[in-house]
Structure 1
Amino acid sequence: MLRTPPGGAGHGTAAPGDRPMSIGAVLTRLRDEFPEVTISKIRFLEAEGLVEPSRSPSGYRKFSPQDVERLALVLRMQRDHYLPLRVIREQLDALERGEQPQLPPGAAPGESAEELWEPGAEEPTVRRVGRAELLAASGAGEEELAEWESYGLVAPDGDGGYPAEAVTVARLVADLGRFGLEPRHLRAMRASAERDAGLVEQVVAPLRRHRNPQTRAHAEATTRELAALSVRLHAALVRSALGIRST
């Protein structure tokens, strides 16, 4: 069952009766429980509609204690229950209706669900899959998988396994194939993704080399946020090029 501890969402929540807080004050409150949280992460969750702080006459965000508790709950569902934002939104909507939604089991000891989360896709709950699992999940045959590998769309590691995200890639490649798009047509997409990854790496590389563990943790959070933003930008550019209005 989904429960919020009495008196707040945990160590990082505001006590009832506190005045509205700035985004910097919210960050300070949340970091005790969520050391990886950043201002950009809070802004991202706001952009996704998961929290809606009020605004001062000059336009500054003002977070109520309930906003801070909601943010902590969102972060906890990501960290402890492997939930994507779409499902978290459904859980929050259910809570507002007075329901008590069921949550999947929490993360294994020492393992963070946040580490397994890739924004914009169905989040895998394992880090690696075997070849048979990849074939079964994608509905592909050995010849198809071999062709995808030849074009670098999916790639096994040294032990013959695949990263969990390969499942998402394989399914998308198979779906595009139903429209007549062959792996050779998708090389440009792969090259574009590699260029995007290179840009992200330029931003986070200095943070990853830092001696401070919190800074290195911040690098991983920043990587995920930049990946999510690049996916959204790519989708918006494609829609714009095709003259498609966003729904």
Structure 2
Amino acid sequence: MTGSNGSVARRWGAADPDDAGVVPAARAGRGQQEDSADPLMSIGEVLGHLRVEFPDVSISKLRFLEAEGLVEPRRTPSGYRKYTWAEVHRLRYVLSAQRDHYLPLRVIREQLAAMDRGEAPAGAPSPRPPLVAVPAEEIAPVSPAPETPPRVRRAELLERTGVGEDVLTDLERHGIVAADGGWYSADAIDVVTVAGALAEFGVTARHLRAYRTAADREVGLFAQLVAPLARSSNSATRARAAENVRELSALTQRLHAALVRIGLSDTLGR
């Protein structure tokens, strides 16, 4: 990957044309060198394709990965980003490595650099997917995912999670989940879904209080660590704060799982 991090980083301070929304595909600047069989996509179109597999990805996340030198979209004279399918595959590799293997960006960057040199990096999460050029007319339009998390009322929450009213009431009584003005967020849906699955093993809301307490302590710790970055007026710095929280969360999940395995080794006869 050729380095353009300095030029990319300098762009963060200025207004970004991509903030205006999805614009029609255009071929200009570096994009003029592309063959018509390798269509250029706007950042919104790329986001729509990626969200099929990575629902939480956002435009700010894509900009952050660009600032970190992991992907280098072309730019039109007006400053709009334009991505090829090769760059979409690269983004998919990065997001998969983060989500499925908890790899930090430093390691992912090293793996990508090795693949750019034609090498097979040790510890790579999966082989590099084949880069298939798809004619623009064959690309089905993808509707972007909602920008804000879905919110549901109590009745829909119960229907979507399959838990009973008594289970939800117990979760609320123990402070595991709470409504906001009668609405439950997407994260609340996840909490209730997991709590319902745990209930099948005999884990009740009372048992989950320990997880609530541990999570609150993590929130306090992480907030201290990223607060200086999160308060920055620079969007790239704020994106770094969000990325740090993601990596911290992934690392603590791995630590928790390892500690549980160690603690249960005698019980399981290992």
Same fold, judged at TM 0.5 (above): yes
Identical residues among aligned pairs (%): 34
Q: Distance in 1 between matches of 2:150 and 2:169?
A: 21
TM-score by length of 2: 0.52
Q: Aligned partners of 1:46 and 1:205: how far apart in 2?
A: 27
Match of 2:38 in 1: 6
Contact in 2 for aligned 1:46/1:52 (Cα 8 Å): no
Corresponding position of 1:155 = 178
Q: Judging changes above 3 Å, is the alpha-carbon distance between structure 1 residues 215 and 31 closer, same or farther for their aligned structure 2 residues?
A: farther
Q: Partner of 1:140 in structure 2?
A: 163
| Partner residue, 1:28 | 69
State TM-score, norm by structure 1: 0.56
Matched ranges for 1:75-86 at <5 A? none
Cα distance in 1 for residues equivalent to 2:101 and 2:193: 28
Supply the distance in 2 between the matched residues of 1:66 and 1:9 (Cα, whole angstroms): 26
Residues 153 and 190, structure 1, Cα contact 8 Å, conserved in 2: yes
- 8 Å Cα contact 1:138/1:174 also seen in 2: yes
**Counterpart position of 2:33:** none
2:194 is matched with: 172
For residue 137 of structure 1, give the secondary structure of its aligned residue in structure 2.
Answer: helix
SS of residue in 2 equivalent to 1:62: helix
Per-residue deviation, 1:226? 1.9
- 8 A contact 1:53–1:64 mirrored in 2: no
Tell me whether 1:107 sits opposite 2:136 in the alignment.
no
Equivalent residues, number: 183
Cα pair distance change 1:52/1:165, threshold 3 Å: closer
Shift of 1:64: 0.2
Measure, in 1, the Cα distance between the counterparts of 2:248 and 2:230: 15
1:53 and 1:63 in contact (8 A); partners too: no
Q: Provide the C-alpha distance between the structure 1 equivalents of 2:231 and 2:67, rounded to a whole number of angstroms.
A: 27
Q: Which runs of 5+ in 1 are unaligned?
A: 12-23, 68-85, 117-125
Structure 1 partner of 2:236: 214
The residue type equivalent to 1:30 in the other structure is: V
- 2:109 aligned with 1:64: no
Per-residue deviation, residues 154-194 of structure 1 (Å, max 9, x unmatched): 1111x211120111211221122122222111111111111
SS at match of 1:30: coil
**Whole-angstrom CA distance in 2 between matches of 1:101 and 1:9:** 10
Larger RCO (CA under 8 A, 6+ residues apart): 2
Range moving further from structure 2, 25-34 or 180-189: 25-34
- Is this contact kept in 1: 2:161–2:193, CA < 8 A? yes
**Using the alignment, how far apart are the partners of 2:100 and 2:193 within structure 1?**
30
Cα deviation, 1:31-59, whole Å, max 9, x if unaligned, reads 6669xx9xx9898479458x97877xxxx
What is the rounded CA distance, in whole Å, between the counterparts of 1:66 and 1:127 in structure 2?
A: 42
Tell me what 1:192 maps to: 214
Question: CA offsets per residue over residues 61-101 of structure 1, 9 Å max, x none?
Answer: 6340789xxxxxxxxxxxxxxxxxx9xx79x76x5899999
Unaligned runs of 5+ in 2: 1-36, 44-64, 74-80, 84-90, 120-124
Cα shift at 1:240:
2.0
Deviations 1:96-131 (A, max 9, x none): 8999999964335xx3xxxx7xxxxxxxxx342221
Match of 1:225 among 221, 229, 247: 247
Deviations 1:3-39 (A, max 9, x none): xx8289989xxxxxxxxxxxx99933626669xx9xx
In the aligned structure 2, how far is the partner of 1:101 from the partner of 1:153?
43
Q: How far, CA to CA, are the matches of 1:223 and 1:236 in structure 2? A: 20
Q: Is the 8 A contact 2:171 2:177 kept in 1?
A: yes
Aligned residue type for 2:68: L
Q: 1:203 to 1:41 in 2, by over 3 A?
A: farther
